[in-house]
């Protein structure tokens, strides 16, 4: 008999991917398709939700076709997605009422300031584990209801659905039969109580959001239902959902308290497993739900760096210093060090631990001797410095030193960036054989629910190290670099005043 496979749908910020995994957790086939990034004004970021769906379903069709299998050969589908991005659609027609508002979008910054002035920060943090910021879904949803013509009336009448991207994909895959989300996505909306594990009436009242617009919240690994599309020759169970960063934590098998991973994607997202305790941060980190499996909730501390790989994209597409993203490594290696140049890539504000939505990117220390190589190196270092700041905050909250950092995501393929990261920390950076750990985590969650894998222990045995990076730089040099980095961060902060 032919071995069945797991299909992971990985819907990211800039592209949609579909990956088929076998029982050993190995990639059998992969397909990827970028989609349009819409920037109506500075600070605003949107996606066309129908294009998200069409790109996602087309790559799913492509991997099935390329691998020569049928729907009967797929044991289950797992979904992982860009989080906090808001889609609102008509319950009857399944048509979005406007563009999706992306997690990077800053249009509700002033409204967040108003809520802070009214003293709602502690209430929101206590119930949701989140800081009050435009990053999360709640204020975006309120903006749509207040600004899209007829939206609030339709919402009050129960005619609209709100979902993060996972909800939208499940709705489309089941032709409107299922309106659900999972705990890892729900906990990023600023509307979900991470202690009662349910939508919170007090928060819904604060944001003036009707409960009827919200999806049903499920666990991260359970059989939710089956596909109803014509894409597959048979109905396939949809049985795993997790927001991209929680999926990566699971894919990295950071299943014990204290284990830390970082995903170097468009942004950088660090999560530390804190077990069954929701640890509150005193260092501007988020307390979040890592996953819920078999009725047991696992929590994590999270630090979000808004601009990680996106800094390399900007160097390529905006500044046109490099032609391809991997080209940054070769260019950065043309110089021995950064030549005194520091790049704070606060292109959409600063995330943890600063949370400054008015910060903007700065390149400091430019002299007549500065070359494009120095700027390329400063870009990679700017990513690594931000990760350093977050891990140090995590260590302070957890009251424990990190011994290693497990890494994944596109930019984790850069040996130079990983070496810089290890030099800054003074400990090991561990890159697994499969760096597609976000999709792998979704596959694992889906496979566990249908018995494709028997247990987490069975999966743990599959996790294989590809390469370890050890620190090489003297502490004095590292301390000097950190001094100038933090000086540069201060220069970038509170730049926007209006």
Q: What does 443-466 look like in DSSP terms, one character per residue? A: HHHHHHHTTSS--HHHHHTT--EE
Confidence tier at 497 by pLDDT (50, 70, 90)? confident
Query: Which has more pLDDT, 169 or 460?
Result: 169
**What CA–CA distance (Å, rounded) separates 362 from 485?**
11
Strands 216-218 and 27-34: unpaired
Query: Which has more pLDDT, 408 or 51?
Result: 51
Res 209: pLDDT: 96
Res 498: pLDDT: 62
Q: Across all residues in the chain, what is the average pLDDT?
A: 93
Decide: 69 and 63 in contact? Cβ < 8 Å.
no
Chain CA centroid to CA 203, Å: 23
pLDDT tens-digit series, residues 450-459: 999 999 999 9
Confidence tier at 304 by pLDDT (50, 70, 90)? confident
Does the pLDDT value for residue 301 go beyond 90? yes
Decide: 388 and 429 in contact? Cβ < 8 Å.
no
**What CA–CA distance (Å, rounded) separates 348 from 357?**
7
**What CA–CA distance (Å, rounded) separates 333 from 383?**
16
Does the pLDDT value for residue 306 go beyond 90? no
Res 397: pLDDT: 87
Strands 198-199 and 192-193: antiparallel
Res 277: pLDDT: 87
Decide: 7 and 227 in contact? Cβ < 8 Å.
no
**What CA–CA distance (Å, rounded) separates 296 from 282?**
26
> Which of helix, strand or coil describes residue 64?
helix
**What CA–CA distance (Å, rounded) separates 310 from 416?**
17
> What tokens does 265 get?
């994607």
Cβ neighbours for 212, distance < 8 A, ≥ 6 positions apart? 155, 158
Task: Indicate the range of 41-55, 394-408, 442-456, 477-491 predicted with least confidence.
Answer: 394-408
Give the CA angle between residues 38, 361, 84 to the nearest 5°.
45
Task: Indicate the range of 94-103, 162-171, 224-233, 265-274 predicted with least confidence.
Answer: 224-233
**What CA–CA distance (Å, rounded) separates 29 from 290?**
27
Does the pLDDT value for residue 305 go beyond 70? yes
Res 317: pLDDT: 92
Res 1: pLDDT: 56
**What CA–CA distance (Å, rounded) separates 396 from 272?**
12
> Which of helix, strand or coil describes residue 217?
strand
Mean pLDDT of 312-333: 92
Does the pLDDT value for residue 216 go beyond 80? yes
Strand partners, 89: 96, 161
Confidence tier at 71 by pLDDT (50, 70, 90)? confident
Strand partners, 221: 240
Res 434: pLDDT: 83
Using a pLDDT cut of 90, give the percent of the chain over it.
80
Mean pLDDT of 259-267: 88
Mean pLDDT of 411-424: 94
């Amino acid at each position: 008999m032919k071995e069945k496979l797991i299909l992971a749908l990985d819907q990211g910020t800039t592209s949609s991917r579909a990956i088929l995994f076998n029982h050993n957790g190995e990639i059998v086939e992969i397909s990827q398709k970028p989609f349009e990034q819409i920037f109506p004004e500075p600070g605003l970021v949107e996606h066309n939700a129908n294009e998200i769906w069409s790109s996602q379903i087309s790559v799913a069709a492509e991997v099935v076709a390329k691998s020569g299998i049928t729907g009967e050969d797929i044991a289950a589908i797992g979904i992982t997605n860009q989080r906090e991005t808001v889609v609102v659609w008509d319950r009857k027609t399944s048509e979005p009422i406007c563009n999706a508002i992306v997690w990077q979008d800053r249009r509700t910054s002033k409204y967040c300031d108003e809520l802070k002035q009214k003293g709602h920060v502690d209430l929101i943090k206590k119930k949701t584990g989140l800081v009050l910021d435009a990053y999360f879904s709640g204020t975006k949803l309120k903006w749509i209801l207040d600004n899209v013509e007829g939206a609030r009336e339709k919402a009050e009448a129960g005619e609209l659905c709100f979902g993060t991207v996972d909800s939208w994909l499940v709705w489309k895959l089941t032709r409107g039969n299922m309106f659900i989300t999972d705990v890892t996505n729900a906990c990023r909306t600023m509307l979900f109580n991470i202690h009662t594990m349910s939508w919170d009436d007090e928060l819904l009242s604060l944001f003036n959001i009707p409960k009827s617009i919200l999806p049903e919240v499920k666990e991260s690994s359970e059989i939710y239902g089956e596909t109803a599309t014509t894409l597959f020759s048979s109905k396939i169970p949809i049985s795993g959902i997790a927001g991209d960063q929680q999926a990566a934590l699971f894919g990295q098998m950071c299943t014990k308290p204290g284990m830390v991973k970082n995903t170097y994607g468009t942004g950088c997202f660090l999560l530390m497993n804190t077990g069954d305790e929701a640890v509150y941060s005193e260092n501007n980190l988020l307390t979040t739900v890592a996953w819920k499996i078999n009725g047991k909730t696992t929590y994590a501390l999270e630090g979000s760096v808004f601009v990680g790989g996106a800094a390399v994209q900007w160097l390529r597409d905006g500044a046109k210093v490099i032609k391809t993203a991997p080209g940054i490594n070769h260019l950065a290696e043309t110089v021995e060090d950064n030549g005194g140049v520091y790049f704070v890539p606060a292109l959409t504000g600063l995330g943890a631990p600063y949370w400054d939505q008015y910060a903007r990117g700065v390149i400091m220390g430019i002299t007549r001797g500065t070359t494009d190589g120095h700027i390329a190196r400063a870009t990679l270092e700017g990513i690594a410095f931000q990760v350093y700041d977050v891990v140090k905050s995590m260590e302070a909250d957890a009251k424990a030193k990190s011994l290693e950092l497990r890494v994944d995501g596109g930019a984790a393929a850069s040996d130079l960036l990983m070496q810089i990261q290890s030099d800054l920390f003074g400990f090991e950076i561990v890159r697994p054989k499969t760096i597609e750990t976000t999709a792998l985590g979704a596959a694992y969650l889906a496979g566990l629910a249908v018995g494709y894998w028997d247990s987490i222990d069975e999966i743990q045995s599959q996790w294989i190290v590809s390469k370890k990076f050890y620190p090489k730089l003297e502490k004095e040099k590292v301390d000097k670099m950190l001094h100038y980095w933090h000086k540069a961060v201060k220069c970038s902060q509170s730049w926007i005043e209006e």
